[in-house]
Structure 1
Amino acid sequence: MNTVRRKIAAIVGSIGLALGIGLVTAGSAHAGSNGQQIMILNNGGSAKTVLVWGNDQNGNSVKQCFSISGYETWISGWWWKGSMSVYWYDYSTNCSNNNPSNSSYSWTADIPATSSNDWQAIGRPGNTTLDNINRQIEFFDNRHVANSVKVVGYNQNGNLVEGCWATPGWDTAFSGWWWKFGPTLYLYSTSNCSGGYNSTVKTGMGGRDGTWYGATN
């Protein structure tokens, strides 16, 4: 994965925290012995802020608005655990006054108490809009169950193709392969996409042409 892109994303996330937007309804979470930090995937490319509403590692309710920029934003220094709701706000710079009903899209995630890397990726899963655009895929194995991933779908030339990638870690970029029309990811416990797959992830490639799409399980 491109290190420069990751560093820029991390800086953007820190800027969002520094801006604060003044919407904390409980004390901010701090690193502890359990809980995870989150990384927001802005797959549609139009969201400016996200409202995160959940519990920190101590069980305190936290509701906070964060500025996001680009395809991914790392929200470092905030630790979460259990069920949380994330609301994306397209073109809004203040989470539409901290109101979930004004959001453009919402998703409920379950953040585990422990994980091998202390991060969970949260995107806009379930959007299967068949947009005629070309994007590369980055896969985040939140559940740590995939040792390889097979992607089946249409490439930038409209041909039905498939490819297999070993996924030894949490974050794997399928660089150099371009997809459109919502390809499907098949997750395998083996390292070479052999045997039966254990689950699937359906992508929705809506967004901007030539960018990344973050898929999570």
Structure 2
Amino acid sequence: MDIRKKAATTVGALALAFAGILGAAGQSAAASNGQQIVFADTRGDTYSVYLVGTNQNGEHATICFNTPNRNTYVGGWWWKGEVSYIGWAGANCTGASRGSYRATVPTYQTDTDWYTISN
């Protein structure tokens, strides 16, 4: 193998290794400073949820999400500390309220990045 091919191979391998490290850092950094939410519709009558709380950066955050399944995973949003949420009878946080709730989302869990809240 000539020197140019060897150098290109080495640079390529280093780039892949570095990309793998960077990709892992984003996930683990968020996972150690907040959790994603799973909403468990134990009542079976909640079709959307309005959630208010603190994100992984310590900023106030709100989201309305539809709950088409008994367990709805809300990925891409990271929460920590106290969250408040209201269940709604209709999609897009409309209709009659199905109750208001509070939960304390841990900053870190050893076995998962998902924290379950329910009605």
Compute the TM-score of the two structures, normalised by the length of structure 2. Answer: 0.69
2:109 is aligned with what amino acid?
Answer: S
Cα-to-partner distance string for 1:61-80 (whole Å, 9 max, x where unaligned) = 11110011121101111100
Aligned to 1:108: 102
1:122 and 2:107 are equivalent in the alignment? no
Unmatched runs of 5 consecutive residues or more in structure 1:
1-29, 125-217
1:94 and 2:92 are equivalent in the alignment? yes
Superposition pairs of residues 13-162 of structure 1, within 5 angstroms: 32=30, 33-90=32-89, 92-96=90-94, 103-116=97-110, 117-124=112-119
Aligned to 2:18: none
1:109 is aligned with what amino acid?
Answer: A
Once residues 106 and 92 of structure 2 are traced to their aligned partners in structure 1, the CA distance between those partners, rounded to angstroms, is: 28
Specify the structure having the higher radius of gyration (Cα). 2
Displacement after TM superposition at 1:96 (Å)? 2.5
More helix by share: 2
Once residues 88 and 77 of structure 2 are traced to their aligned partners in structure 1, the CA distance between those partners, rounded to angstroms, is: 20
Displacement after TM superposition at 1:106 (Å)? 1.3
Once residues 89 and 113 of structure 1 are traced to their aligned partners in structure 2, the CA distance between those partners, rounded to angstroms, is: 27
Displacement after TM superposition at 1:86 (Å)? 1.4
Once residues 77 and 70 of structure 1 are traced to their aligned partners in structure 2, the CA distance between those partners, rounded to angstroms, is: 18
Secondary structure at the counterpart of residue 81 of structure 1:
strand
Once residues 94 and 76 of structure 1 are traced to their aligned partners in structure 2, the CA distance between those partners, rounded to angstroms, is: 17
Aligned to 1:160: none
Once residues 71 and 94 of structure 1 are traced to their aligned partners in structure 2, the CA distance between those partners, rounded to angstroms, is: 16
Once residues 94 and 53 of structure 2 are traced to their aligned partners in structure 1, the CA distance between those partners, rounded to angstroms, is: 18
Once residues 78 and 62 of structure 2 are traced to their aligned partners in structure 1, the CA distance between those partners, rounded to angstroms, is: 12
Displacement after TM superposition at 1:115 (Å)? 0.6
Displacement after TM superposition at 1:60 (Å)? 0.7
